[in-house]
C-alpha cells in the first residue's frame, strides 16, 4: 500500500487517481502473484456488487477508505498488529516532549486500527500523559472535548 500511495503522490494529476473506483481498479491491477489472485477476485466481486446497488459510490472516498482497511486486514501480519497494540498500551509521555508523544500516539493509533473519534481514544491519550499535566488541563475552566483539543491543551500547558 505504501508504494502505491507514493506512486499516487507522484501521479496525482493522472485521471486514474481521481475517483476511488479507478484508484481501486488500478491498485488491484498492479497486484501480482498466486497468493493474491483469489483476494483480487473477491474485491472485484464486492466492488461490482456495491456499485450495482449504489453507482454514486464510484466517486465517494469512503469506497477507497474501506478498501484500504480490507487490504490492511488481509495483508498486515497478526504479529505486527499485536506488537503495535502492546506498544500502544505501554505508550507514555517521556520527559516533557509532547510532540514526540503525540507523534507516537497517532502512529500507533493508526497501526492498531483505531480512529481518532473511537471510544477510549481520549482516555488512552490522557493515560499516557504525565499526571501533573492532566491535572493542569482539568483545572482549566473549559475542558477539552476531543483529541485535537487535548493535544492543543497539553501543548499550551508545556
Same domain, 86 and 116: yes
User: Nearest-5° angle of CA 52, CA 57, CA 62?
Assistant: 135
Residue 126 and residue 65 share a domain:
no
Give per-residue pLDDT as tens, 36-80. 889 999 999 999 999 998 888 889 999 999 999 899 888 877 778
- CA gap 115, 51 in Å, rounded: 26
Closest C-alpha among 66, 50, 58, 49 to residue 21: 58
**Owning domain of residue 22:** 2-75
Are both 98 and 70 inside the same structural domain?
Answer: no
- 140 and 122 together in one domain: yes
Contact 111, 135 (CB under 8 A): no
pTM above 0.95, yes or no: no
Q: Say yes or no: 130 and 98 in one domain.
A: yes
Residues 90 and 118 in one domain: yes
- Within this chain, do residues 84 and 148 fall inside the same structural domain, yes or no? yes
Amino acid at each position: 500500500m505504501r508504494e502505491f500511495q507514493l506512486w499516487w503522490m507522484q501521479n496525482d494529476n493522472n485521471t486514474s487517481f481521481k475517483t476511488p473506483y479507478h484508484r481501486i481498479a488500478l491498485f488491484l491491477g498492479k497486484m501480482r502473484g498466486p497468493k493474491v489472485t483469489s483476494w483480487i477476485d473477491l474485491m472485484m466481486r464486492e466492488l461490482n456488487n456495491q456499485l450495482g446497488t449504489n453507482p454514486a459510490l464510484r466517486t465517494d472516498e469512503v469506497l477507497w477508505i474501506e478498501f484500504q482497511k480490507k487490504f490492511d486486514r488481509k495483508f498486515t501480519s497478526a504479529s505486527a498488529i499485536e506488537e503495535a497494540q502492546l506498544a500502544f498500551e505501554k505508550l507514555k509521555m517521556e520527559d516533557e516532549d509532547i510532540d514526540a508523544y503525540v507523534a507516537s500516539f497517532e502512529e500507533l493509533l493508526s497501526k492498531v486500527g483505531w480512529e481518532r473519534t473511537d471510544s477510549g481514544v481520549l482516555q488512552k491519550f490522557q493515560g499516557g500523559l504525565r499526571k501533573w499535566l492532566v491535572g493542569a488541563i482539568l483545572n482549566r475552566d473549559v475542558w477539552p472535548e476531543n483529541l485535537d483539543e487535548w493535544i492543543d491543551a497539553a501543548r499550551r500547558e508545556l
